């Protein structure tokens, strides 16, 4: 069995999930060949999954979302780099956990991309998700050489709200190495930049934005896209509506317009980068995630693993914390059976605090039922 586990957010890392599942399987069927391949869908945990698959871990001190320095990790193997924007601009870097929906910046994410370029990366997987920001990637672009100026000719301030003051955009100073890199925007969301399904409306409240903040941010992002369209042409307006433009507070838009990125579903990218097809062989994959629900079916790791396995004629079973899909939905997703911690432990708090032992118990049952 191949264990292609994502993290159980707030409880276990992908590596820890895989370890507990492997332990339970081996107890059920000693001698069973078990291989672990932690996966991610482009959000937080993406660099950790790459490192577990053999990439070298690197760190650099960069600008955090509120301007304070943070130490961020990224991964490299050969000339392929994996950069996770949450490492630089994620919610976990908000001092004291206090949100800054109007002023949080992606500047550090641009610095992290520059670090990968400095190391010789020629293919760059840019995983976006878990951001504290809604600045349309403006901070990232300025870190890489763009100039975003007010009517007075001064740089606009940090964060999405300040983009309302943007009068002129000059991207001619962007790092020329970007033109030589295949930059892949890896995301599990396909929202546009603005509007009722855009970055501010859908994800702003998760970052502390109230109704007034959402209106402010959406208007500022709309203005930002208009100014960039004046500078770069109609392709910018098209990019603002493209799938993934609204990812991670609109950093997807900044990557598509300024960095020449191409969008791919995060789990598809990561399965390729991590060598899932080679690892799978004739094995049965067992994906793991904290919750299997309707969101899982839209680009999340378990659905991506199941789809890739089904394409090769291999069965998939899943383990999860909570199961909110019926048998028909699981079957359509390519998952033969799902085992939930909540089935053996109804107390949600214990499911979080004792996830490791519970996973081993579930995996033992799974092994007894599925492994000869």
Burial class (CB in 10 A: 0-12, 13-18, 19+), 119: middle
pLDDT at 276: 85
Total Cβ atoms within 10 A of residue 38: 27
pLDDT at 282: 64
* Tokens coding 233: 């042409």
Distances, alpha carbon 153 to alpha carbons 105, 135, 147, in Å: 20, 20, 10
Average pLDDT along the chain, 372 residues, taken 10 residues at a time? 87 90 92 86 86 95 98 98 97 96 98 98 95 98 98 97 98 96 92 96 96 98 97 93 94 96 89 85 69 74 86 89 90 91 91 93 92 76
Q: Which of 39, 117, 136 is nearest to 76 (CA)?
A: 117
> What is the C-alpha to C-alpha distance for residues 180 and 260, in angstroms, rounded to an integer?
10
Distances, alpha carbon 117 to alpha carbons 42, 87, 109, in Å: 19, 17, 13
Provide the CA 302 distance to its chain's centre, in angstroms. 14
Inter-residue contact 74 to 58 (CB < 8 Å)? yes
Q: Which of 228, 231, 205 is nearest to 218 (CA)?
A: 205
Q: Which of 287, 344, 349, 364 is nearest to 11 (CA)?
A: 349
Kindly provide the residue ranges of all beta strands, DSSP E only, lying in the chain, ordered along the sequence.
Answer: 2-3, 35-36, 56-63, 69-77, 80-84, 123-127, 147-149, 168-170, 182-187, 262-265, 288-292, 317-323, 337-340
> What is the C-alpha to C-alpha distance for residues 6 and 18, in angstroms, rounded to an integer?
8
Q: Could you give the count of Cα atoms lying within 13 Å of 268 in the half-sphere of its Cβ?
A: 13
Inter-residue contact 174 to 144 (CB < 8 Å)? yes
pTM above 0.75, yes or no: yes
Inter-residue contact 361 to 344 (CB < 8 Å)? yes
């Amino acid at each position: 069995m191949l264990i292609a586990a994502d993290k159980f957010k707030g409880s276990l890392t992908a590596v820890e999930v895989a370890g507990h599942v492997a332990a339970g399987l081996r107890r059920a069927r000693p001698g069973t060949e078990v291989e672990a391949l932690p996966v991610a869908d482009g959000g937080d945990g993406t660099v950790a999954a790459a490192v577990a698959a053999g990439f070298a871990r690197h760190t650099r001190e960069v600008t955090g979302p509120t301007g304070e320095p943070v130490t961020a990790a990224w991964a490299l193997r050969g000339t392929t780099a994996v950069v996770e924007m949450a490492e630089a601009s994620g919610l976990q870097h908000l001092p004291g956990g206090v949100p800054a929906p109007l002023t949080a910046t992606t500047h550090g994410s641009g610095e992290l991309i520059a670090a990968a370029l400095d190391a010789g990366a020629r293919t760059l997987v840019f995983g976006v998700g878990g951001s504290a920001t809604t600045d349309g990637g403006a901070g990232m672009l300025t870190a890489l050489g763009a100039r975003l100026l007010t009517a007075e000719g001064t740089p606009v301030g940090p964060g999405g709200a300040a983009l309302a003051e943007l009068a002129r955009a000059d991207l001619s100073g962007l790092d020329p190495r970007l033109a030589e890199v295949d930059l892949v925007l890896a995301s599990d969301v396909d929202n546009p930049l603005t509007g009722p399904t855009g970055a501010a409306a859908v994800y702003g409240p998760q970052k502390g934005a109230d109704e007034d903040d959402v209106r402010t941010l959406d208007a500022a992002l709309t203005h930002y896209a208009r100014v960039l369209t004046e500078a770069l042409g109609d392709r910018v307006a098209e990019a603002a509506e493209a799938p993934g433009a609204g990812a991670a507070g609109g950093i997807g838009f900044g990557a598509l317009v300024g960095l020449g990125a191409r969008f791919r579903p995060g789990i598809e990218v990561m399965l390729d980068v991590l060598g899932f097809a080679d690892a799978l062989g004739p094995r049965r994959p067992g994906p793991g995630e904290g919750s299997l629900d309707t969101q899982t079916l839209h680009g999340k790791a378990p659905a991506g693993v199941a789809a890739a396995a089904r394409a090769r004629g291999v069965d998939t079973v899943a383990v999860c914390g909570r199961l909110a899909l019926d048998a028909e939905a699981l079957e359509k997703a390519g998952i033969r059976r799902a085992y939930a911690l909540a089935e053996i432990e109804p107390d949600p708090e214990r499911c979080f605090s004792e996830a490791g032992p519970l996973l081993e118990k579930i995996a033992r049952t799974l092994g007894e039922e599925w492994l000869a």
